[in-house]
Amino acid sequence: MGSLLRTEAQERAGLIDVTGYDLSLDLDQGDENFGSAVTITFTCRRPGAATFLDLQAETVTSIALNGVALDPASVTDGRVILPGLQGENTVQVESVMRYRHDGEGLHRAVDPADGRHYVYGMSFLDAGPSIYACFDQPDLKAPYDVRVRAPHDWIVGGNGAAKQTAPGEWTLATTPPMSTYFVTVCAGPYAAETDEHDGIPLGIYVRASLARQLREQRDEIFEVTKQSFDYYHQLFGIRYPWGKYDQFFVPEFNAGAMENPGCVTLRDEYIFRGAHTRTQLLTRANTIAHEMAHMWFGDLVTMQWWDDLWLNESFAEYMAHRTSAEATRYAEAWVDFGIARKTWGYGVDRSPSTHPVAGASAPDAKSALTNFDGISYAKGASALRQLALYVGDGAFVAGVRKHLTDNSFGNATMDDFLAAVEHASGRSLAEWTRGWLRSSGVDDIRLEVEEHDGVVARAELVVTRPAGSTSFRSHVLDVASINEGVAMATIRVHADRPRTDLPDLAGTARGYLLLPNSSDLTWATTQLDVESLAAVPGELLATDDPLVRLAVWSALLGGADTGRVDPQRVVHVFAECWPHEDTTSLSDMLAGLVRVLYPYRLVPQADSAHVQAMLADAGLRRLDLVEDPQAALTPARLVAATTTDADLLARWAADDGRPGSAAGDTDFGWQVVRRQAALGLIDAAAIDTARARDDSLSGHLSALSARAARPTDEAKRWAWDQLYGERALSNYEALSLAEGFFAGYGENGADELLRGYVDRFFGELPAVPRKLGDMAAEKFVMAAFPHRAVEPAVADAARAAIANPDNTPGVRRALADSLDRLDRALVAHEKFGGTV
């Protein structure tokens, strides 16, 4: 089916207004298909004209327009032509639809723990027509009445409050007007926990095999939910408009969550099976706050077209971290934003596939997905954070309130939002918009200092725009001069030109560490001078301010990413300082970033075994320092992912001597098994034994990943056949196999075995979206890419695949981002060479 063109959407929106959907779904027709019957009422401004419905059906049973039957066989390329419209119209469509297994449409999953089936609807971005016939574009909003028939032992939820009217029969309350891409129905033998807050009924749902974990974690989830409601009610001045508030934690979900009004769907990995860190709890809390922010910004007021999708996500991203930091116990949320989200976004913004936050072309619906990335989320949120600093927080909030009030239950554009902020602040945002929203790339910031006898005589903040940029981006940021962990001076700077004099630093003692963006307020790559770079280890260990440590790490990671800092210097600083890091977000995210991006990637293969051993040793030293059992989990995970100590891995696999909360934890056990498998220390029978002890979905997926990771010809041939043969895979099964396949490249001679598969990987890519769907295909490419094969020939093969017109735009985008990481590694190898 061709993607809806923006011009087509504008023409259709100019012709019709949709007044209501009446939808019936029959989910009791077996495991493969379900019935869908919809009645749509709409008006037409030009009687006699024609328009079309969107429909992706297995079989169309009947179509009637204003009582006149249309030929079901006339459906072409996913469209139902509706000719000869009247002023007021009714169209009825009955069809048989197919359940999907790619995380889109009406997804059906089987929990291997008990064989029970679960269904959830994911209508984003253009998957709604695979559930029901509709006018599928964001600016044709309408209220919904939904009825569902389901097996008698299932419960049903959706956007409106669900009521069981008879065994297996459910009716959902009429919704306020909403866009087609928000429609969802969740059905299955879900376990439920309920509560109420401020007159709002609350529900949490999860598959039955996780019922115990939900009972244990419900209070924390409800607490964050209630805190977020209170914060948003106070901030926006508008009551939650969607009635009840359900959160369904569903299996095999492609994204983190989806903001369906009244019925949020989230990936069920957020219901932790066992041991988990504070960072994981913070991430879940942040996701809850993010999706709730969408109830106002995105759901109540929706973008006109997909080119403003960034505004929905940037706003929710910004609000989630603001809410987490100010209204929950996770006061360190902005530290987490800096190390987790901004690091992701910086990587995208430094790549050839960078694009402006706003104004990126979206000539059709699917093209918007190619810009659904760390720029739309992290950089966009950073821009909004800067906007609040630029106009003042009071004016920013007043502008948000005006925007939400003026456009409630309607659609709006970026210009509408900015006009509301301009009205509230009395300031023109034209120049600010050009710098922050219409230009791409990351600015560099550094300090130029003249000193005499250790005293600063003159200091300037220097901002360097990205190559090719024609707009200057103003920055509101802090600059600190730090000695032995103490900020001797911290000044707030509004840099609205390439060079900004800092008179408040003149006459002060020069600190060992001069740190621009010391509170991580802006979006930029910090360049440290030679003296500051040399002082980094000591200052990281000395300072009590986690934002300063974040800013230092951001400078180090950004320096390595841009070829200015030797990656091995980063690893040495990590080995010295990380064992003493007590802010869990920094500790957890740094451990993940360094172990994934540095050995066998940014660090040359010849030095990587030594570097990986340094990481394992840092983990062991951290284990010696921590007393909290929960705090032992992150260093234990680092050791499990990097050690080559076969005896240690064997003991931990047998749950002998595991540290802290890793003891008895099934998921940690699987991490150990996967490492054993990648090192060739266990055979398939040992993996099958571990799988027999864990009959859950997580166990099934972990076993697939472990089997694919084994460095044997038999294992690779089996995994390849699973991935690219005729076997039907769920999106999660494909990702698990992909993550394991190239995992051991570079270790124990596995590169000799795997090198022949690299070219085959690029050759098979055109078939991946057809097998997995567009959203899952992009994630698959990122997971399956041979990141450790840091060779010019691999880069050339990736470029050829990007140029191949048989690959979808989403696959090409994922390849471009992966290639950029590979090119950065090649630059680092050439520039810094071997061991420092």
Asked if residue 629 lies in contact with residue 657, where contact means CB atoms within 8 angstroms, the answer is: no
Asked if residue 207 lies in contact with residue 187, where contact means CB atoms within 8 angstroms, the answer is: no
Residue with tokens 């209070």: 219
Beta bridge partners of 65: 68, 91
Task: Give the Cα separation of 273 and 254 in Å (integer).
Answer: 19
Beta bridge partners of 378: none
Task: Give the Cα separation of 154 and 156 in Å (integer).
Answer: 7
**Cα dihedral sign for 695, 34, 165, 19?**
positive
Asked if residue 458 lies in contact with residue 504, where contact means CB atoms within 8 angstroms, the answer is: no
Instruction: For 719, list phi and psi in degrees, rounded to 5.
Output: -65, -40
Task: Give the Cα separation of 392 and 494 in Å (integer).
Answer: 13
Task: Give the Cα separation of 527 and 538 in Å (integer).
Answer: 18
Question: Which of 466, 448, 602, 459 lies closest to 530, judged by CA?
Answer: 448
Task: Give the Cα separation of 582 and 335 in Å (integer).
Answer: 12
Question: Which of 588, 585, 652, 665 lies closest to 619, judged by CA?
Answer: 588
**Residue 470, number of CB atoms within 10 A of its CB:** 8
Using DSSP bridges, classify how beta strands 499-501 and 455-464 pair: parallel, antiparallel or unpaired: antiparallel
Task: Give the Cα separation of 705 and 715 in Å (integer).
Answer: 11
Residue with tokens 């994204």: 255
Asked if residue 257 lies in contact with residue 266, where contact means CB atoms within 8 angstroms, the answer is: yes
Task: Give the Cα separation of 240 and 230 in Å (integer).
Answer: 10
Task: Give the Cα separation of 285 and 324 in Å (integer).
Answer: 7
Is the bond preceding residue 125 a cis peptide, omega within 30 degrees?
yes
Which one of the listed residues 104, 252, 291, 317 is annotated catalytic? Answer: 291
Task: Give the Cα separation of 523 and 787 in Å (integer).
Answer: 27
Residue 165 CA to its chain's centroid (Å): 38
Asked if residue 125 lies in contact with residue 810, where contact means CB atoms within 8 angstroms, the answer is: no
235: which 2 tokens?
Answer: 């901030």
The CA-atom distances, in angstroms, between 49 and each of 15, 46, 72, 95 are 8, 6, 20, 25
Using the 8-state DSSP alphabet, how is residue 652 labeled? H
* 192: CB partners within 8 A, 6+ apart: 155, 203, 204, 205
Active site annotation includes 576: no
Coil/strand/helix, residue 17: strand
Task: Give the Cα separation of 750 and 752 in Å (integer).
Answer: 5
* 329: CB partners within 8 A, 6+ apart: none
824: which 2 tokens?
Answer: 């950065």
Task: Give the Cα separation of 578 and 513 in Å (integer).
Answer: 18
Asked if residue 91 lies in contact with residue 82, where contact means CB atoms within 8 angstroms, the answer is: yes
Question: Exposure string (b/e) for 129-161, b if CB count within 10 Å is 16 or more?
Answer: bbbbbbbbbbbbbbbbbbbbbbeeebbbbbbbb
Strands (E), 198-306: 200-206, 245-250, 257-258, 263-267, 301-303
**Starting at the edge strand that comes first in sequence, how are the strands of the sheet with 499-501 ordered?**
499-501, 455-464, 443-452, 524-526
77: which 2 tokens?
Answer: 């390329």
Positions annotated as catalytic residues are: 291
